[in-house]
Amino acid sequence: LHYKRAGIEIFEERWRGAGGEIDLIGRDSDGLVFVEVKRSKTFARAAESLSRRQLSRIMLSAEDYVERMFPGQLVNMRIDLAMVDTSGQIKVLQNISIL
């Protein structure tokens, strides 16, 4: 609901690609949005639970999705981390990367 309220059309949930599952895939005015959802007691714990390896797998699946759905096209895209705490509060980090 958070993304829908923000004007992002969600058209895939739990999509499985070459690297594994992507929780949500949507589109906003800038391009595709790939979302990893993490639930934990706190936002900090949720953020810490996303490993480099998992982010790499999400990136691989995002590339797979674009290749299948938009072959040969340049597509703007980003990966978000949507964190949900035990009270149901949501915090989103847009365009994440792990260096």
Q: Which residue stretches of 1-99 are H helix? A: 2-5, 43-48, 52-69
In the predicted structure, residue 99 carries a pLDDT above the cut 50:
no
pLDDT tens-digit readout, 1-12: 889 888 999 999
Residue 74 CA, chain-centre distance (Å), reads 19
pLDDT of 36 reads 96
Burial 73-99 (b: 16+ CB within 10 A, else e): eeeebbbbbbbbbeeeeeebeeebeee
pLDDT tens-digit readout, 39-89: 999 999 999 999 999 999 999 999 999 999 999 899 999 999 999 999 999
